[in-house]
Amino acid sequence: MAASIGRSQGFMLSITHRMIDRGVRSRSSTLIDLATGARRDEAWNGAGEPQLATFSYLTRRRGSSMFALHQLSLWPLSRTWTPQVFVVGSSWLAPLSLCACDPIAVRFRQATERRVALLGEQRIDGQPAYHLRLSFTGLERTLGAATIHVHTAFDIWVSTASLLPVRMTLSRDGHPGYTRDYAWLRPTPARLASLRVTIPRGFHTQAA
């Protein structure tokens, strides 16, 4: 993993996330400038309608190792926008936490240090990749029901050339959960410009 972090320098990271939750499909995407931490997150519902677009950038707090995370969210259905500011640590800038910062993926990264199987090599979108799998059975408590055993499997495909992730999937008890595709892009002027937000005409401010 240390090698993959080093090889991610100078890139922008594009993530496409497809999820199935109780039979309902949704899609989201993220574009991150790994040099600055600036990012754009967008989400669509199963019908392909835009639900949310969030633009974020970081500023260092004076005299501190912490950063201020500035976010501006656009809500197309209500035609509103919401500004927010959070305090975050330098770990927000780590490429691997940026490409998989949700709690499930964090558990995956921690678990791979202990036990992971190499299933061979495959091509993902024409790119040679190592196929790795982590599977385990854990306890999960559901609301109004007893604790049950859930078998969870993470599959991750890592480029044989760069050792950077190109795809990750999650399944539980054989049922697909999500698929996440990663693309490592050069920071062109057009891509960098897409991280800057312009408030659409007719949108109004909504308190966070």
Please write the tens of the pLDDT for every residue from 21-66: 666 778 899 998 888 888 899 998 877 888 899 999 888 777 777 8
The tens digit of pLDDT for each residue in 112-162 reads 444 678 889 999 988 899 998 887 666 555 555 556 566 778 888 988 888
The tens digit of pLDDT for each residue in 192-202 reads 999 988 888 88
Residues 8, 34 contacting (CB under 8 angstroms): yes
Indicate whether this model's pTM tops 0.85: no
Q: Distance between CA atoms of 74 and 13, rounded to whole angstroms?
A: 21
List strands edge to edge, sheet with 67-75. Answer: 117-124, 127-141, 147-159, 165-172, 175-185, 12-21, 24-33, 39-44, 50-60, 67-75, 80-88, 204-205
Q: Is 36 exposed, middle or buried (0-12, 13-18, 19+ CB in 10 A)?
A: middle
Backbone angles phi, psi at 94, to 5 degrees: -65, 125
How much is the pLDDT for 103?
43
Residues 174, 150 contacting (CB under 8 angstroms): no
The tens digit of pLDDT for each residue in 162-175 reads 888 899 888 877 77
Does pLDDT of 181 surpass 80? Answer: yes
How much is the pLDDT for 42?
92
Q: What is the mean pLDDT of residues 9-29?
A: 79
How much is the pLDDT for 140?
57
Q: Give me the domains of the chain, ranges plus CATH numbers.
A: 2-205 (2.50.20)
How much is the pLDDT for 54?
92
Dihedral of CA atoms 169, 172, 176, 181 in degrees, nearest 10, equals -10
Closest residue by Cα to residue 41 from 69, 4, 9, 14: 14
Distance, first Cα to last Cα, the chain: 37
